[in-house]
Amino acid sequence: MKKIGVLTSGGDAPGMNAAVRSVVRMALDRGLEVFAVYEGYQGMVDGGDRIRPIGWNDVGGILQRGGTVIGSARCQQFRERNGRLQAAYNLVQHGIEGLIIIGGDGSLTGAHVLQKEWTGLLAELVETGKIPQETADTYQSLKIIGLVGSIDNDMYGTDMTIGADTALHRIVDAVDAISSTAASHQRSFVVEVMGRRCGYLALMGALAAGADWVLIPEAPPNVDDWEGKMCSVLAEGRAVGRRDSIVIVAEGAQDKYGNPITSQYVKEVLESRLGEDTRVTVLGHVQRGGSPSAFDRNVSTLMGADAVEAILADEAQTEPIVIGIQGNKISRTPLSHCLEKTWGVAEAIKHQDYDEAMRLRGRSFADSFRIVRTLVRALPHGPEPGKRRLRIAVMNAGGPAPGMNTAVRAAVRLGADKGHIMLGIDNGFRGLIDGDIQELDWMQVGGWASRGGALLGTNRKIPNESDLYAIARALEKHQVEGLLMIGGWAGYQSALALFEERHIFPAFNIPIICLPASINNNLPGTDLSVGADTALNSIVEAVDKIKQSAVASQRTFVVQVMGHYCGYLSLMGAMATGAERAYMHEEGVTLKDLVEDVRQLKKGFKRGKRVGLMIRNEMANEVYSTGFMSALFEEEGGDLFDVRQAILGHMQQGGDPSPFDRILATRLAARCIDFLETQIGGDEPESACIGQVQGEILLTDLRDLPRRMDTEHSRPKKQWWLDLRRVAGVLAQPAPHKKKR
């Protein structure tokens, strides 16, 4: 394989550029020649200069841009055999043997058809004298790799499609904004989001933004008078003091008989039945636009890199492959299988087999739907007859992390809904020592889903021996039967301290569960902690601006990010912003490294680079500080470039939680309540920390925690994301050739 083509097709999606950049640079690094096929299949059919070589520097500076720089289109001709015949001719003329196609299920269906017909198309080209037999023999097979670019997250074979996370950012920002104006005027709003056949954006948008009702195609209301049911729930909410009412409607929402439910109809229902002033907001193309989120940039980068590996492997020889992400691992699945399953959902919805549609969407989708249904209730169900009300305490501890409030809200509401008494401990373990505990009720946590910071208060206090007596007294006084600690490293250590003393203090012999919340992402038992995604997005936004500030000058920035001894934010931040280098404590920094980095920077600037970017974790090296590095680079850079440092500081801990953090916080909190319910009252109750590992929610026994923790550096002994360094390293190196133009 020598030459490959890359194209973006169908609806554009933020993150497509990151994928193109990664494909182009990875392929060049592997010695391939790369052609961009401009305007999707239209360019493939048109040929000519719509199929052109694309170089290393051509994909510089596109990572942060929305849309797709190589263009996308819908192409009627490609739907017909004749169009595909012309496309095949053009590909062969350019010597292209493999294609990496970034598009939605429509585009990938097109790819599937093209590959199936390939041999026949070449035979016809030979028959009609367009190409000689030798050419047909040389290009016998066409290798195809697909990446799913679609904001709807509507395709099987990947947990997330390129663009879906960014679209959720747009939706959640919009709904947060609408909520504040709705609350000021006690208005109702109906918000319509994209998703003709998939309710992902509506459902996750509702979960993340704390909406009051949601309508999606896969799970229509199961009663005939759904309008009545919706109105009674919203009216109850008003009665107990809720100031805003937000209904989110997916474009393709329908009732159980398959009749469409439009946002306009929902508005009419709310106005006529509740007499409420109701406004409709159709979010439309805003959801598609704008700069991609940190997640979309990184996932697209990793998928693009694997697409190149896959096209070079034998796998794609006979059957196109879809590159996806499952948990935090990049996956490969045969395209035909992905298409079959995707069509299955559409068929199930069409035939009103909603159980099947939900089953095909997978467990986390169904879980989320159940959680939303509980959270939207205005008032809790209350205890089941014959079941005892448990007393469950919730607290934050460690540094503040965006999403802590979201987790508290979910825990309080889901616990209260099961009839339990939910207690809030103020101000972390400090507050617990002082006995600052009060009951939290359903409405008290209203609006907490979207608020940054820690409304319960948090701090890094780890109780010492004498504090333990006070804590035991407080727990006994308030008859706490189970404890949910939502927090970071100090919280985990404190929880462990109580757990280890449970044989001495009977008050500690209760189930304790830790929910990971820390921007550092340095907690054991989970791949990701709540808050890290928000911090990463804050870093990425800041670095984008810093880079823009330097367009006129030749400048290198040394940007310092948080993370304590954990390099997650620096590595992922570097990958998402196209930094040349991430410095982290895990790798250490040597003078030799710095000398080599200066050499690479100089090489880059000599070849036309305008901005250099190095991201340094705050604890990467004690001696080689951010100031030291900046001074060193400045001195060594000479006339080629100057250097500025930027220490991002506490903005990383602030801000409203990102959609991902809200969803993670909510799902984890739901499982924590289930866990406490099953453990409370047992003779030897278990204690655990919860986490998301490989996409699944898992519990780790607190007993296992110490051996997984690197206590000296407050981070887990094993960190999965360290494997991603290779891709980031390849993409950031200076262009191997002189700039082409």
Stretch that binds ligand ADP, among 23-31, 75-83, 598-606, 621-629 (CB under 6 A): 75-83
Fill in the DSSP letter of residue 128. Answer: T
Distance CA 59, CA 23 (A): 10
- With CB under 6 A as the contact rule, the residue among 14, 15, 43, 104 that binds ligand ADP is 104
Number of residues that bind ligand ADP (CB under 6 A): 17
Q: How far is the CB of 214 from ligand ADP (least distance, A)?
A: 24
Q: Which is nearer to ligand ADP, 87 or 579 (CB)?
A: 87
Select which of 152, 417, 467, 656 is catalytic: 152
Cα separation values, 637 from 442, 496, 575, 646, Å: 59, 49, 24, 18
Asked if residue 41 binds ligand ADP (CB under 6 A), the reply is yes
Distance CA 464, CA 359 (A): 49
Q: How far is the CB of 41 from ligand ADP (least distance, A)?
A: 4
Tally of CA atoms within 13 A in the half-sphere of 652 that contains its CB: 26
Helices (H), 313-353: 335-350
639 residue type, one letter: D
Yes or no: say if 72 and 12 are a contact pair by the CB < 8 Å rule. Answer: yes
Distance CA 438, CA 423 (A): 5
Helix (H, G, I), strand (E, B) or coil at 329: strand
Token pair of 642, please? Answer: 């100057």
Asked if residue 9 binds ligand ADP (CB under 6 A), the reply is yes
Asked if residue 103 binds ligand ADP (CB under 6 A), the reply is yes
* 3-state SS, one letter per residue, for 251-269: CCCECCCCCECCHHHHHHH
Helix (H, G, I), strand (E, B) or coil at 3: strand
Q: How far is the CB of 77 from ligand ADP (least distance, A)?
A: 7
Distance CA 242, CA 262 (A): 25
Asked if residue 343 binds ligand ADP (CB under 6 A), the reply is no
Stretch that binds ligand ADP, among 108-116, 220-228, 282-290, 387-395 (CB under 6 A): 108-116
Give which of 623, 639, 482, 624 is closest to 554, Cα–Cα. Answer: 639
Q: Which is nearer to ligand ADP, 88 or 550 (CB)?
A: 88
- With CB under 6 A as the contact rule, the residue among 60, 95, 106, 654 that binds ligand ADP is 106
Give which of 139, 114, 93, 145 is closest to 312, Cα–Cα. Answer: 145
- With CB under 6 A as the contact rule, the residue among 97, 105, 227, 306 that binds ligand ADP is 105
Q: How far is the CB of 87 from ligand ADP (least distance, A)?
A: 10
- With CB under 6 A as the contact rule, the residue among 23, 27, 62, 75 that binds ligand ADP is 75
Q: How far is the CB of 150 from ligand ADP (least distance, A)?
A: 6
Q: Which is nearer to ligand ADP, 75 or 99 (CB)?
A: 75
Strand order in the sheet with 642-647: 581-583, 611-617, 555-561, 642-647
Q: Which residues contact 259 (CB under 8 A, 6 or more apart)?
A: none
Asked if residue 110 binds ligand ADP (CB under 6 A), the reply is yes
Distance CA 728, CA 577 (A): 10
Residue nearest to ligand ADP (CB): 106
Q: Which is nearer to ligand ADP, 67 or 734 (CB)?
A: 67
Q: Which is nearer to ligand ADP, 9 or 293 (CB)?
A: 9
Asked if residue 78 binds ligand ADP (CB under 6 A), the reply is yes
Our answer to whether residue 154 is catalytic in this structure is: no
Asked if residue 200 binds ligand ADP (CB under 6 A), the reply is no
Distance CA 51, CA 36 (A): 6
Stretch that binds ligand ADP, among 17-25, 101-109, 354-362, 641-649 (CB under 6 A): 101-109
Helix (H, G, I), strand (E, B) or coil at 590: coil
- With CB under 6 A as the contact rule, the residue among 4, 7, 8, 10 that binds ligand ADP is 10
Helices (H), 30-145: 40-46, 81-93, 105-127, 133-138
Yes or no: say if 20 and 59 are a contact pair by the CB < 8 Å rule. Answer: yes
Chain positions 132 to 151 lying near ligand ADP, rule: CB under 6 A, are 150
Asked if residue 304 binds ligand ADP (CB under 6 A), the reply is no
Asked if residue 107 binds ligand ADP (CB under 6 A), the reply is yes
Q: How far is the CB of 192 from ligand ADP (least distance, A)?
A: 19
Stretch that binds ligand ADP, among 17-25, 109-117, 386-394, 668-676 (CB under 6 A): 109-117
Q: Which is it for the CA torsion 283, 286, 287, 288, positive or negative?
A: positive
Q: Which residues contact 493 (CB under 8 A, 6 or more apart)?
A: 462
Q: Which is nearer to ligand ADP, 9 or 291 (CB)?
A: 9
Q: Which is nearer to ligand ADP, 196 or 599 (CB)?
A: 196
Binding site for ligand ADP (CB under 6 A): 9-11, 41, 74-75, 78-79, 103-107, 109-110, 113, 150
Residues serving a catalytic function are 152
